[in-house]
Amino acid sequence: MNFAAQFFYSRYLSERLECLYSPRLALKDSEENDPFWQSSNICDPVRNGTAGRRPTLIEPDRLKDFGEEELLNGDVKLYDVTVAGVPEIRLMEPPKTRRFSEFRVAPQPQYLRFEDISAAAFRIQTEIQKTPCTYSRLSKQYGMEIYLKKEQLHYTGSVKERGVLYLLACLAQEQQRKGVIVATDCNFSMAVAHHAVELKIPVFVIMPACCSSPRLRLYRDYGAMVISYGSTGHDSRNHARHLASENGYLYLEEDESEAYLAGLGTVGMEIFEQVPRLDAVVVPAAGHYGLLAGTAAAIKHLNSQVLVIGVEPEGFPLLLRSLNTDGPVRDMHSSPNKKLYGELVEPSLGVQTFRLAKKHVDKVISVRLEDSLVSMLRFQEFERSTVDTEGAMGLAAILAGQLPELKGKKVVVVVSSANMELELVRQCVDRALVLDDRVSKFSVWLGEWPGDMAKLLDFLSREDVRLLDVCHRTQSDRSDLFKAKVECVVETRDKTQSAQLRKSLSGRYPSICWLDR
């Protein structure tokens, strides 16, 4: 036994060496009453460590650090000391040191955690712009303080950039080196194409042949490798999966992964920071419902008193029906307008997304397509912004009067996207003007006398209406050959002027007929 062993079994080594070398030496009276000497009992046999003392946590190789040393010209001289009359001591194996956190079994999170959303916000803050949340000019008109969270201002025009960027950043480096692949033309694919190129990740986009040339050019401008394959989106998706399995690419499609939902949930953190004393948040609930689930999780964690309301199209109320049946609906038969809603009508409500919505969302309502079109018109007139049907759904619920409980409250409406082709936007605006009683069409019978047509046009000009179209029909099946049918399409400023025009024309021309919208 060396000198180091003596160090561990005596606190008074320098004063008690005589006792160690002569273990049977009688102790003084003061030492007999010393509790330290009574507890240590160094002269008794030691079994599996020192009697009455905790086993040491120091490894045996480290015991030499406590030996006596003498430095002579840079050399270390060790002295071995032999102890007579003391049984050989066998040190036990040191226990494995473990952190305190290792003794606790961390439960698996049942829902998306706020810590995940905070991590996503920290990671994407340098690549994703903080979108404005501005006071709307429509507030006084509808009796509440409306703030618009303008997520359509992202580079690709969609809020899905948040989830996609964090999803790509969480990929392993080996997978980032190999690349990713997406299929079909949607907001998710555009976000992947843009941010994958920004992160130096090879990205391949498989598009069906029906995709328009401007959209293909848009993906190529982002820097993605675009491949046209198949005639439908189903063909392109199957081909993308085949290429991914053969070449080691990662096939990405919108799902409910924690990284994707956490990225979308950063919208809720920004809203809570930008609008103090918030009362309610209205979020579009369509497509894969990740925006609603992530935003609700963040808002409810920061303030459980804030109402979270989801809005989805009336032709496809997937979440509303799932909540009524207490489970995600997998097969839902409906016939929404796919030209206007596009990717929003895919049955893609996952289990985790449903649980988040059930736990955090206070109310889910559905809006008509007509209300969404009128909401798009309001965005252009009052906010000088062009949005699509998904981005306009939140405001459509307020315009249609479906949220009377929010009167006088401070409300944030999330504007999620603005990706709609220009020709389709024009058609939606034309239809919205008709639905808003701003464009009217009527027919009237005029005599074939000089000046009758001029009098009608002069009357319309004095009423301060805009003549959009006029058709003069002389051929008709009526027996009166001296009459001509005139059809006019006019635009008014608002519903009040439209009602006044109808009253004036009906009094002047009894034969007038207002055509259906």
How many CB atoms are closer than 10 A to CB 25?
Answer: 12
By percentage, how much of the chain surpasses pLDDT 90?
54
With bands split at pLDDT 50, 70 and 90, how would you rate the model's confidence at 169?
A: very high
Contact (CB, 8 A) for 310 and 378: no
Q: What is the mean pLDDT of residues 50-63?
A: 39
Residue 163 has a CB neighbour count (10 Å cut-off) of 29
Decide: 287 and 259 in contact? Cβ < 8 Å. no
More confident residue, 67 or 57: 67
Place of tokens 């929010």: 406
A 10 A CB-CB count for 501 gives 19
Scanning 402-441, the segments in alpha helix (DSSP H) are 422-435
Q: Report the DSSP beta bridge partners of residue 431.
A: none
Secondary structure (3-state) at 394: helix
How confident is the model over 58-96, as pLDDT tens digits?
344 433 433 434 333 444 444 454 545 545 445 455 455
Is the pTM here over 0.85, yes or no?
Answer: no
Contacts of 109 (CB under 8 A, 6+ apart): none
Q: Which fold has domain 437-514?
A: Alpha-Beta Plaits (3.30.70)
Residue percentage of the chain with pLDDT more than 70: 74
CA pair distance 82, 229, nearest whole angstrom:
86
pLDDT bin (cut points 50, 70, 90) of residue 213 is confident
Helix (H, G, I), strand (E, B) or coil at 496: helix
Confidence of residue 43 (pLDDT cuts 50, 70, 90): very low
- Using CA atoms, how far residue 471 sits from 45, 192, 445, 456, 507, in Å, is 119, 50, 12, 13, 22
CA distances from 457 to 453, 488, 490 (A): 6, 10, 11
Q: Is the pLDDT of residue 47 over 70?
A: no
In this predicted structure, what is the pLDDT of residue 72? 38
Q: What is the pLDDT of residue 326?
A: 87
pLDDT for position 346: 61
Helical segments of 112-157, H only: 114-124, 139-142
- Looking at residue 79, its amino acid is Y
**For residue 399, pLDDT beyond 60:** yes
Greater confidence (96 vs 310) lies with 310
pLDDT band with cut points at 50, 70 and 90 for residue 42: very low
The confidence score (pLDDT) of residue 481 equals 65
Decide yes or no: CATH 3.40.50.1100 for domain 114-156+258-327+348-430.
yes
Q: Where are the domains of the chain?
A: 114-156+258-327+348-430, 437-514
Name the least confident of 2-11, 174-183, 401-410, 446-455.
Answer: 2-11
- Which among 299, 263, 31, 257 has a CA at the least distance from the CA of 166? 263
The three-state secondary structure class of 35 is helix
Residue 238 predicted with pLDDT over 80? yes
pLDDT at 55: 39
In degrees, rounded to 5, the angle at the alpha carbon of residue 32 between the alpha carbons of residues 26 and 33 is: 170
Candidate from 55-59, 233-237, 510-514 with smallest mean pLDDT:
55-59
27: left (phi over 0), alpha (psi -120 to 50) or beta: beta
| Mean per-residue pLDDT over the chain, rounded | 80
